Amino acid sequence: MADPNQVLRHTPLHALHVELGAKMVPFSGYDMPVQFPSGILREHLHTRAQAGLFDVSHMGQAFLSGNDPAKALERLTPADVIGLKAGMQRYGLLLNERGTIKDDFMFSRLVDEDALYLVVNAGTKEGDFAYIAARLSGIATLQPQPERALLALQGPAAADVLERHAPGISQLTFMKVARATVAGAPAIVSRSGYTGEDGFEISLEGHVAERVARALLGEAEVLPIGLGARDSLRLEAGLCLYGHDIDETVNPVEANLVWSIAKRRKLDKDFPAAEKIIDAIFNGTARKRVGIRPDGKAPAREGSAIADKSGRIIGKITSGGFGPSLNAPIAMGYVETAFAGDGAPLDLIVRDKPLPAQVSPLPFVPHRYRRAI
């Protein structure tokens, strides 16, 4: 439960959210919009059909500089940082010494720039930045960018909309990143997001964020979208939410995120707890993250126990709710590996009653990223 005495921080778009009639709630220390007057269901479906604008300025942005910041960062993540080409972005896991997940994050190498651009999660950013700075002290310098805003324009119409305000930007393909001018403001733009849809994330100086947001919201295809629809969209896309689906009790193998560990890094075994993680890759783990489709219409919420058909508890739900695109409940959670195969029958314990369900492939809704041909 939120602390009623907590002083909440505001993003640069706070006044605009209030003006637009948003319902504001505490989230990761910020006063954030959970929904706008159109409501979560419409916001979700509109993003899938046209374009939604999200304020994600609560995320942590930073630059990592030094003689070789890519080599330095590889001390903390099993991703291939050194091999990242200029103008590209990549997903990575920030690991602690035990090999469990301290955070997940994005890192980019901008063209003709030595520093790496990092984006980490809102609720962990202070801890992440302190950890990175301390662990890389003397070999790299972390420069947090607390004054920057971050907008996400997501949906099938996002490219056409952004092209009107940043000519040429639609030439970027999935996970490419560039400096650009958006509605007259200097920006860092990546073709990425957290919805499973095509879209962009736009990093700006905070003082220009409201002007750019108003320009984008002025387009007929665009609605403002709150945290509620952001969560249902990412769940349909099978994407992890830090602090729920992944945290420091989970390793990359259990989380089904082995794809984020580069082949070279597996061979070199030069990342935190590499031997332990490689062993888990080859010999398996006791549990795995899976998608789950409950039968019927009743959703299973986070924390609900998962049982096998004999009633034995074999796991728990880490994210659950209603999938508007599917008109059905969906969930993710961890189960004993023997029950992790697609179609495996399960029971979800909701209000002390078993509700039938089965393991489902992820994502629930196919990703629609615009990949390079």
Residue 93 and residue 78 in contact, taking contact as beta carbons nearer than 8 Å: yes
Domain ranges of the chain: 1-284, 286-360
Please tell me what DSSP assigns to residue 122: G
Mean pLDDT (10-residue bins), the chain, 373 residues? 77 98 98 98 98 98 98 98 98 98 98 98 98 98 98 98 98 98 98 98 98 98 98 98 98 98 97 98 98 94 97 98 98 98 97 96 98 85
Identify the residue whose tokens are 């096998």: 308
The confidence score (pLDDT) of residue 372 equals 87
The confidence score (pLDDT) of residue 6 equals 78
- Digit-coded pLDDT (tens) for 14-44: 999 999 999 999 999 999 999 999 999 999 9
The confidence score (pLDDT) of residue 3 equals 64
* Topology adopted by domain 286-360: Elongation Factor Tu (Ef-tu); domain 3 (2.40.30)
Q: Which residue intervals of the chain are DSSP H helices?
A: 14-19, 40-49, 69-73, 125-135, 158-165, 206-217, 227-236, 263-268, 274-283
Whole-number average pLDDT of the chain: 97
Which residues are 72's β-sheet partners?
none
Rounded CA Rg of the chain: 21
The confidence score (pLDDT) of residue 4 equals 64
Residue 52: partners with Cβ closer than 8 Å, 6 or more residues away? 43, 46, 153, 154, 155, 195, 222, 223, 224, 225, 229
pTM beyond cutoff 0.95: yes
The confidence score (pLDDT) of residue 2 equals 52
The class level of CATH for 1-284 reads alpha beta
Q: In 3D, which of 255, 231, 235, 230 has the Cα closest to residue 104?
A: 255
